[in-house]
Amino acid sequence: MLWLPLVIAGLSCLNGSAGGAEWKTTLINEMGYVALEEFAGAFAMKPVKRRKGSGEIAFAGESHQLVVKTGTREVIVDGVRHWLSFPAEKKGGQAFVSLMDINATLVPAMSPLTVKAIGKVNTVVFDPGHGGHDLGGKSAFGYEKDYTLDMVNRARRILEAKSVKAVQSRLSDAFVNLSERPEMIENYDHPIFVSVHFNSAEWKPSANGIEVYAMPPLGFPISGKAPDPILDRQKCAGNASEPASFVLANTMHHTLLGKTGGFDRGVKRARYAVLRHSDVPSILIECAFLTNSQEAGNVHNPQWREMFAQAIADGILAYMGLANKEVLPARAGDFGRKSTDEFIWEE
């Protein structure tokens, strides 16, 4: 056993322990892992005995719930799906989660105010995906580039009505280089960057739902891919704001699920160009699938786009409340949404 100091300050106030709280770690696959029961206890959660599938282990308390499936990177935190960077493991009859995932995902998801890197927010920089010759995805009704611009126009109008300054990387059907889109953040005071897209999966027309991406921490793999000893260690501007970007992504995902009722595909990690080149809190939203016939019809409906734009605006306002006033954002369950309860293949 190894004893490692708690990386994210502030957890000690959750369980009344001393400020020098430490996690007891066990070496698994040459990495430090923490017993899930120990982590759950720090958040006043107790084991939930009955689960549906093999390898599924759950804990719940008055304020939090956590479900993992050993051997996978999928985890359900406070009713919403997340993707760990490393698989949960089982050893000696106990479930374990990597110390790296506890510090980068589980603690900030459950206790966002412990993330000290969150700064003030005065401006929202929207990025409508694609544009010009870059059509993006396509449905039977239209192109992604047009839907993203319309969605951003609507979300911007809603925020401006709330006296929130919002700008866009493109205002028309124009192509903007990916690396140039985040550059405009330098012109504004305390910005966040929100890139809006629609998903496609021609190989699986049934694929549906919402997912929100943030940068992985330096040295961590992206969701759905095995660790890459070269790419995972390449430094970029996005590494500077990764903790706050994750909190923004988590806040947005809870809001979108609670407000729209979309299928929960999870908070994920990716090194998309617009996230790599942005050194402020940044996320990329995949709103729905243009290759799913039902969702494609929804996206083409202006009333649906207005509803979803309102949810995006609400997610931004919730994050601004957290960043500027330390007001904890609502979670999906607070909107009456039933907790995610099924595990899916990591697509």
pLDDT of residue 4: 42
Per-residue tokens: 207: 């694929």
Q: Domain for residue 38, yes or no?
A: yes
- Do 146 and 282 belong to one domain? yes
Interatomic CA distance for residues 240 and 153, integer angstroms: 29
Q: Residue 105 has what DSSP assignment?
A: I
- Do 147 and 106 belong to one domain? no
- Do 201 and 322 belong to one domain? yes
- Do 103 and 186 belong to one domain? no
- Do 234 and 325 belong to one domain? yes
pLDDT of residue 346: 55
Q: Domain for residue 140, yes or no?
A: yes
CATH at 27: 3.30.457.10
- Do 129 and 84 belong to one domain? no
Burial zone of 60 (CB within 10 Å; 0-12 exposed, 13-18 middle, 19+ buried): middle
pLDDT of residue 6: 41
Q: Domain for residue 346, yes or no?
A: no
**Domain end: 92, 114, 136, which one?**
114
pLDDT of residue 51: 73
CATH at 292: 3.40.630.40
Q: In what order do the strands lie in the sheet with 94-98?
A: 2-5, 22-28, 31-35, 94-98, 89-91
- Do 13 and 75 belong to one domain? yes
Q: Domain for residue 183, yes or no?
A: yes
**Domain end: 114, 148, 165, which one?**
114
Q: Domain for residue 55, yes or no?
A: yes
Q: What is the mean pLDDT of each run of 10 residues along the chain (347 residues)?
A: 39 33 88 96 91 86 95 96 96 94 97 92 98 97 98 98 98 95 94 98 96 97 93 95 98 98 97 97 98 98 98 98 97 97 76
- Do 100 and 14 belong to one domain? yes
**Domain end: 63, 84, 114, which one?**
114
- Do 10 and 142 belong to one domain? no
pLDDT of residue 49: 81
- Do 146 and 89 belong to one domain? no
Domain carrying residue 73: 2-114
Q: Residue 78 has what DSSP assignment?
A: T
Give the count of domains, the chain. 2
Per-residue tokens: 62: 């008055």
Q: Is 132 helix (H, G, I), strand (E, B) or coil?
A: coil
pLDDT of residue 22: 81
pLDDT of residue 332: 98
Per-residue tokens: 66: 């956590």
Q: Domain for residue 16, yes or no?
A: yes
- Do 170 and 147 belong to one domain? yes
Q: Domain for residue 340, yes or no?
A: no
pLDDT of residue 20: 34
- Do 274 and 193 belong to one domain? yes
